[in-house]
Amino acid sequence: MKIKDGFILREVAGSFIVVAVGEAVKNFNGIVNLNETGAFLWKILEKGAEREDLIKALLSEYEVDEKTAAADVSAFTDKLREAKLVL
Amino acid sequence: MFSVPRYKIADVVFDAQLIYGYTARLCEKYLYSGGDTPEFTAVMDKADVDAEKKAAGAENFPDYYLESLALFRKLCDYILTYRQGIIFHSSAVAVDGKAYLFTAPSGTGKSTHARLWREMLGDRAVMINDDKPIIRYIDGEFYVYGTPWNGKHRLDTNTRAKVAAICEIRQGKENEIRRITPKDMLLVVMNQTIRPKDTEKLDNLFFILDKLLSSVPLYRLKCDISTEAAKTSFRAMVENKI
């Protein structure tokens, strides 16, 4: 799974936001608000990663158990797919 | 057939090659005859008008009006790229030389609220701009500038003032105001400015918004259209009493 070209993550005024740039603006004119965990996962997905990689990354970065991490990753990636932000 | 007047808007001197007299009349107050060299020339052509037509969607505006919007877009693009400034869709009122900005989606009542301030304060209130002022970040300070794109009541002054506070307006049954965080205000502001498609310009915008929201007091006002509404916001934003 990988973030599509044309989307950028930025931290502005304490918020993590994703917007489209260039040609991608034609299909996506909104603003996505991410929390800190979302931004963390997004940065990994910019390079491309599998579900297991994301869970591992969460476990090493945050104090969560595996079940919670897996659920968080699923919830996040489902939303990204729904918004058509990933390939 | 073209006219090429020279203007100074938001402390930027530029020439504009215009097709229609409407835009020239609109910008008349901002004509410049001083000695500063213009920073750029905005050449307006049919393609600019067509692009605005597309952006306006279903709205059927005359070409001369679309040209004026296209000029505004070019100016804002230049200022965002080279002069650390943004368009901020708001009604900006100066009181004792300091500017208070009311923002909201069109139709919410920012112009109405600014009018209530004028009625309450008389000459003490100066309308910087009732619709599309430009904010610039200069030497660590934020200034709001009047522009000719001044909304349906045609209210603007060719001047600038330091930004003292920004307030989001929402309609409400009771008048109440509170301080909000940069996080609360970010999306509000993002939706009331022009968002460029180009990453570099977008980062200029984000840089300015980051500084603006962290250095200026931010408020959210729920209000009706009574005098009491103006008193509520004035007490909080000017007299610092909530």
Q: How far apart are CA A24 and CA A36, in angstroms?
A: 24
Residue B59 has a pLDDT of 83
Q: How far apart are CA B20 and CA B61, in angstroms?
A: 14
Q: What is the CATH number of domain B86-237?
A: 3.90.228.20
To the nearest whole Å, the CA of B175 is away from the closest chain A CA by 27
To the nearest whole Å, the CA of A21 is away from the closest chain B CA by 5
Taking CA atoms, B211 is separated from B53, B76, B97, B163, in Å, by: 33, 18, 21, 12
Q: Which of A15, A21, A22 sits opposite B186 (nearest CB)?
A: A15
Could you give the dihedral angle defined by the CA atoms of residues B223, B229, B233 and B238, in that order, rounded to the nearest 10 degrees?
170
CB atoms within 10 A of CB B86: 21
Tens of pLDDT, residues A23-35: 999 999 999 999 9
B-chain residues near A22 (CB < 8 A): 197-199
Q: Which residue has the tokens 């835009």?
A: B23
By DSSP bridging, strand B125-129 and strand B91-95 are: antiparallel
Residue B56 has a pLDDT of 87
Going by C-beta distance under 8 Å and a sequence separation of 6 or more, which residues neighbour residue B25?
A: none
Q: How far apart are CA A69 and CA B163, in angstroms?
A: 44
CB atoms within 10 A of CB B10: 22
Per the CB < 8 A criterion, the answer to whether B176 and B170 are in contact is: no
Average pLDDT of the segment spanning A57-66: 96
To the nearest whole Å, the CA of B217 is away from the closest chain A CA by 13
The reply to whether residue B187 touches residue A31, judged by beta carbons under 8 angstroms, is: yes
At position B19, the amino acid (one-letter code) is I
> What ipTM was reported for this prediction?
0.93
Q: Write out the two tokens for A49.
A: 């990663």
By C-alpha distance, which of B219, B225, B196, B178 is closest to B76?
A: B196
CB atoms within 10 A of CB B17: 14
The reply to whether residue B199 touches residue A8, judged by beta carbons under 8 angstroms, is: yes
DSSP state of A43: H
By C-alpha distance, which of B132, B124, B99 is closest to B212?
A: B99
Residue B1 has a pLDDT of 61
CB atoms within 10 A of CB B150: 21
The reply to whether residue B195 touches residue A19, judged by beta carbons under 8 angstroms, is: yes
Going by C-beta distance under 8 Å and a sequence separation of 6 or more, which residues neighbour residue B59?
A: none
Q: How far apart are CA B215 and CA B166, in angstroms?
A: 11
A-chain residues near B183 (CB < 8 A): 13-15
Tens of pLDDT, residues A4-25: 999 999 999 999 999 999 999 9
The reply to whether residue A13 touches residue B198, judged by beta carbons under 8 angstroms, is: no
The reply to whether residue B210 touches residue A12, judged by beta carbons under 8 angstroms, is: yes
- Contact of B199 with chain A, judged by CB distance below 8 Å, is answered with yes
A-chain residues near B86 (CB < 8 A): none
Taking CA atoms, B131 is separated from B26, B216, B233, in Å, by: 14, 20, 19
Extents of the domains making up chain B: 6-83, 86-237
DSSP state of B20: -
- Contact of B195 with chain A, judged by CB distance below 8 Å, is answered with yes
Per the CB < 8 A criterion, the answer to whether A50 and A42 are in contact is: no
Chain B residue whose CA is closest to A35: B183
Per-run averaged pLDDT (10 residues), chain B, 242 residues: 89 97 96 98 95 88 96 98 98 98 96 97 97 98 98 96 98 96 97 96 98 98 96 97 86
Tens of pLDDT, residues B128-172: 999 999 999 999 999 999 999 999 999 999 999 999 999 999 999
The reply to whether residue A19 touches residue B214, judged by beta carbons under 8 angstroms, is: no
The reply to whether residue A22 touches residue B197, judged by beta carbons under 8 angstroms, is: yes
Chain B residue whose CA is closest to A28: B197
